[in-house]
Amino acid sequence: MRILITAGPTREYLDDVRYLSNASSGRMGYALAQAALNAGHEVVLVTGPVDLHPPVGCEVHQVVTTEQMRSASVSCFPRCDGVIAAAAVCDYKPRQRTVGKMTKTGDAITIELIETDDVLAELGRMRGSRWVVGFALEAGNARENALQKLRAKNCDVVVLNGPQAIGSETNDVQLIGSQGEIRASWNGVKSEIARSLIEWIGGNLSSTPPA
């Protein structure tokens, strides 16, 4: 299979030096890319800014903003069999970006935020015969929220994990199916979880090869 994998955070700039983002290390997405390569698959990796070297042998697209990740993912997806959306995409961006650097005035400031494009939802809409695996990081009402994400974004399954996964070398995940059932669960180092997930995908999801 040829697998599209998104990894790492995105950034949304307030001005030319400050940005909104999160502490995603990209380790899970990069581990998935390596595990897929080890299993003999082709990998297209769309990655936000991280301090990691992409696995040797995959096609790499470096991005920064959510819009750049959306554009690269939408462009690459038609020639892939499926996607694993492991990126921690920034959900909001400032309505207006300040040119240069904002200076301190001693007064409070208000920044109006608007939602960014939903990368996974767009891939879900254009999936056709391809499979879609999403990631859901939830802190409360976790399984129900993950199921809502699965249905809203047209995923086959969603990998549910918690905030403790951010920046960590380990993870504890549940694979949630379309009825809210737990299809599988794994915990340990991210490389082993990645291997297990790639094996599960190989045995349970399939698609018609893209043209």
Query: CA–CA distance from 42 to each of 2, 104, 131, 139, 207 (Å)?
Result: 4, 49, 15, 33, 15
Cα Rg, the chain, nearest whole Å:
17
Distance CA 35, CA 75 (A): 23
Tell me the catalytic residues.
Answer: 22
Side chain identity at residue 24, one-letter code:
S
Query: CA–CA distance from 178 to each of 148, 151, 200 (Å)?
Result: 9, 7, 16
Query: CA–CA distance from 198 to each of 89, 104, 201 (Å)?
Result: 22, 49, 5
Structural tokens at position 127:
């999936």
Distance CA 48, CA 11 (A): 8
User: Which residues lie below 8 Å from residue 148, measured CB to CB, with a gap of 6+?
Assistant: none
